[in-house]
Amino acid sequence: MGTRHEDQPAEHWAGAESLDPTPVWKQYVLIAGLLFGGLIAVLVVSLLAIAPQIVTPPALVPGDRLVLAIGDLPAAGAPPKLVAAPLLGADREFWLVQPAKGEVYAFRRAWSLQVDNGAPCTIDMMGLASVEQRTFIAHCRDGHAPTFTGAGRTVEGGGRDLDQYLVSMSDDRLIVNLSRLVRASDRTTGPVPTGIPQPQQP
């Protein structure tokens, strides 16, 4: 039936080398290489994760995280502090402010009236800042100049609140994540219905 080995043409015969298993040392090398590569990957990820805790502030670490000393944080109710060059480029400058104890914000200095295609504006501090009233003012190319509180809330004519970076604090340092910009949504104002009492402003 053609099942015996002598029934097969010689050119179909497998050589003796086909019966030899893969040398064990090659398997060990492959496994060791995979383990070593995994350890290196874990080490790199771990170093990136703890980098903000081991560098000396101020420093910009991988992942666009800016590490500042806790002493760079303005006191509660104090005027905001501008964080700019040489640490950051003009497109990522921000205002660091603490309107109330433990309430920390990093407001991006570049802002626009609308999230998309809005007039470009620059956020500046208003004279002697008052975190209870107007702290920031936007200078826009189209002439608008909305104002904002120390918590980034629009006071009048803003259209939307200020954009901010995520901030975290520890005992001796403050970390601003420049890759995580929280953009305030557009705010629309409809007509006030008639015949409905409106709340009085204090």
| Predicted model pTM | 0.68
- Backbone phi, psi, residue 11, to 5°: -70, -15
Tell me what pLDDT residue 177 has: 93
Most confident segment among 38-47, 133-142, 190-199: 133-142
Instruction: Please tell me which of 11-15, 93-97, 149-153 the model is most confident about, judged by mean pLDDT.
Output: 93-97
Question: Would you list the DSSP string of 41-53?
Answer: HHHHHHHHHHHHH
Q: Is 71 exposed, middle or buried (0-12, 13-18, 19+ CB in 10 A)?
A: exposed
Say how far residue 79 (Cα) sits from the centre of its chain.
24
Taking the C-alpha atoms of residue 116 and residue 188, their distance in angstroms, rounded to an integer, is 14
Confidence band, pLDDT 50/70/90 cuts, at residue 95: very high
The dihedral through the CA atoms of 172, 50, 67, 167 has a sign that is negative
